[in-house]
Amino acid sequence: MIGYSALDFSQLARDIVIWGQALGFAELGIADTELSVEEAHLDAWLLAGRHGEMDYMARHGARRARPAEMVPGTIRVISARLDYLPRRARDPGSTLADTRKAYISRYALGRDYHKVMRRRLQQLVDRIDGAIAASSDSAGDTYRHRVFTDSAPVLEVALAAKAGLGWRGKHTLLLTREAGSFFFLGEIYTDLPLPLTPPVAAHCGTCRACIDVCPTGAIVAPYELDARRCISYLTIELKGSIPESLRPLIGNRVYGCDDCQLACPWNKYAQTSDEPDFDVRHGLDDVDLAHLFGWTESDFNVRMEGSAIRRIGFERWLRNLAVGLGNAEYSEQIVGALSSRRDDVSPLVREHVSWALAEQEKKRVTARATPACGSCG
């Protein structure tokens, strides 16, 4: 960056927070780029293979922890938090408890957040551009910046924690006392020498609610996640067959999982979003698994237009739904829905349908063998 003798960077930092909040961000902070401790943790995590099939995690390697290698000249990262809990959504506990229903992670009930986050971050960059242009000694002055919205190798939780937006919880997500963890994070890499926001203390204490509640035991220790067991990984990132031993543990979670967040005491302070794009679409907060399984590929593409769910494609969508149907309480309707895809063109779908039908048959046999009257036997 070329020098700006007329620019008050302390005032600019304060203005950035004000402008960001006016754009709808709940909180903003500024971090430096020293991530050597986080880089060591990342290296150990990758070496243990806990990233599963997410090869891009290993491919980008150290660049995640070295912002200046991603955007040359970067010395500061502006981190922003955007709350996403949708308005008027069905209680997640009710959906999880009803085995006929499909549970979809709260962040994916509305439109894809990437465009919303990127648009707002770009608007913030434009405001910064204007301030620099107005204060610069030279019309030729320029500065480097780049916007990120979960679209590149960025250690966003580590950077947000350094920027004072919260602390890393034992489930590895960022936590804040004011809003729990139901929010998105976005970043602006810049070479502006902005003053840093002080970090906040951690407040997890001895609590291990997130660890104990994880259906698949993916949180193997405080602050350590084995993605290969995580339901979000299994239903979103994994391209092939879901391990049979983990299928019964997935329950009716067909896209992502929120259990660790729902169990966290700090999320009693989680904030709902007033962003219309995050409102529930197509009744996805209260919809039967069998109904979704009956969609054609055209239905899926049309109804999931603009949704994060569309990224996994129709085949994996059916795979996930088949697992949910297999885990549901026995019913002839579910067996009929599964049977309709017994000969699906996809071997992946056929395999999971076959497993699900076998699970339904086990439940049918068990139900017949169970006395109808509680006083019997």
Q: Map residue 55 onto helix, strand or coil.
A: helix
Q: Count of CB atoms within 10 A of residue 355's CB?
A: 19
**Three-state secondary-structure class, residue 184:** strand
SS (H, E, C) 6-35: CCCHHHHHHHHHHHHHHCCCCEEEEECCCC
Handedness of CA 83, 84, 90, 95 (dihedral sign): negative
Helices (H) and strands (E) in the chain, counts: 16, 10
CA angle 185, 188, 194 (to 5 degrees): 115
126 is catalytic: no
CA distances 113 to 54, 124, 183, 300, 309, Å, are 21, 17, 10, 19, 11
- DSSP H/E element including 4: none
Exposed e or buried b for every residue in 62-99, given b needs 16+ CB within 10 A?
ebbbbbeebbeebbbbbbbbbbbbbeebbebeebbebb
Structure tokens at 92: 């997640």
Compute, in degrees rounded to 10, the torsion defined by CA atoms 159, 226, 347, 253.
Answer: -80
Q: Which residue has the tokens 């930092």?
A: 13
Q: Please, what's the largest Cα pairwise distance for the chain?
A: 91
Cα–Cα distance for residue pair 72/350, rounded to 1 Å = 48
For residue 174, what are the CA distances in angstroms to 73, 108, 263, 340? Answer: 27, 18, 15, 42
Give kind and range of the element (H or E) at residue 357: helix 347-369
Among candidate residues 150, 277, 279, 344, the one labeled active-site is: 150
Query: Where in the sequence numbering do the catalytic residues fall?
Result: 150
